[in-house]
Amino acid sequence: MDITVNILLTVATAATPLLIAAIGELVVERSGVLNLGVEGMMIMGAVGGFGAGYLTGSPWIGLLAAIAMGALFSLLFAIMTLSLATNQVATGLSLTLLGLGLSGMMGTNFVGQPGQRLPNLDIPGLTSIPVVGRLLFGQDPIFYISIALTAAVMWFLFKTRKGLTLRSIGDSHSSAHALGIQVIRYRYLSVVFGGACAGLAGGHLSLVYTPQWVENMTAGRGWIALALVVFASWRPWRVLAGAYIFGAVWIGQLHAQAFGIPVPSQMLSSLPYLATIVVLVLISRNKRLTMMNTPASLGQPFVPDR
């Protein structure tokens, strides 16, 4: 029983950064913007979170710094694609490349240093309940944030007027503009929200998952988060399910390596990436379904004419 609980806990820990980054990107894409810079914003959040935690000695300040770093970095993307109408694919790519370089440079002095870890929740009486206690009341704070965030985004997008407006912008920015909606303002806020989420996801990696700084420690998770949004056909609860499936794949291959299964470890390590491809194929082969769910103006630059 204990082993099962432990495995479930590690799956949740692996799924949380994917979930947060993907939920953020989902909002961005629902507003019609494709930000391929998730990996870059995530790694910036990771280095910012680790650095602030290490320098101040407080993981909570690290957490805030991670969020701020991601948001700030995404602002760069917003200015480029929204105010200067640059190509979103190319700009997102350059955000990732810049983030990987910048984080490596900023983190030079952090390599090998001991980091700060966010403490797990510990409620006397509740956390010690057998089996469910640790699953429900004994996880790291970002886990709870991720669940709350998913619920909040679900509520915002589908139960509020502003959420409806945001979705309508993603489906047709020119109609939304004609109705007097501030397309660019909504998109700015969405992109920065997505950046804050990606930063938080990166902070989870360097403040909870492995509390240390390793170059390129995101290891493609930002890209997997992007794939998750497609896999989830832009629905928050499916992102949640997808993130946990991928968390399970990620943890499963680590356990398999630890058990010494006679398969090369590199092959096991490549499983999450191969699984991403397989999942994308399965979900995209139904062309009509994909077309129906994709925000219609996704990735197209918008320049308001007066």
Partner 1 sequence: MMRLELVKRPQRSMLFSALSPFIAFVLTMIAGAIMFALLGVNPLNAFQIYFIEPISQVWQLHELAIKAAPLILIAVGLSVCYKANIWNIGAEGQFILGGIVGSIIPVLFPQFEGPLVLPLMLLLGMVGGAAYAAIPALLKTRFNTNEILTSLMLVYVAQLFLDWLVRGPWRDPKGFNFPQTIQFNESAILPELMPESGRANWGFVFALVAAVLIWILMSRMLKGFEVRVLGSSPRAGRFAGFGLNRMVFFAFLLSGALAGLAGISEVSGAIGQLQPVISPGYGFTAIIVAFLGRLNPLGIVAAGLVLALTYLGGEAVQSALGISDKVARVFQGMLLFFVLGCDTLIHYRIRLIGLAAPKLETAPKLEEAR
| Binding footprint of partner 1 on the chain (CB under 8 A) | 36, 76, 80, 83-87, 89-91, 93-95, 97-102, 104-105, 108, 219-220, 223, 226-227, 230, 264, 266-267, 269-270, 273-274, 276-277, 280-281, 284-285, 287, 290, 303, 305-306
Residue 169 CB, shortest distance to partner 1, in Å, is: 18
Residue 224 CB contacts under 8 Å (≥ 6 apart), including other chains: 18, 246, 272, 273, 276
How far out from the chain centre does Cα 144 lie?
15
Which residues, 6 or more positions from 102, have their beta carbon under 8 angstroms from its beta carbon?
44
| CA dist., res. 240 & res. 269, Å (int) | 23
Residue 48: CB minimum distance to partner 1, A: 15
* CA angle, residues 63, 67, 73, in degrees to nearest 5: 140
Closest approach, Cβ 13 to partner 1, in A, equals 21
Reported in sequence order, the residue ranges of 103-212 that DSSP labels E, i.e. its strands, are none
Toward partner 1, which CB reaches closer, 127 or 174?
174
Residue 295 C-beta: closest distance to partner 1, Å: 14
Nearer to partner 1, 168 or 276 (CB): 276
Distance between CA atoms of residues 147 and 243, nearest Å: 11
Identify which of residues 55 and 90 has a Cβ nearer to partner 1 in the complex.
90
Query: Least CB distance from residue 125 to partner 1, whole Å?
Result: 44
- Packing angle of the helix pair 271-284, 236-259 (nearest 10 deg): 150
- Please identify, using beta-carbon distances, which residue of 98 and 181 lies nearer to partner 1: 98
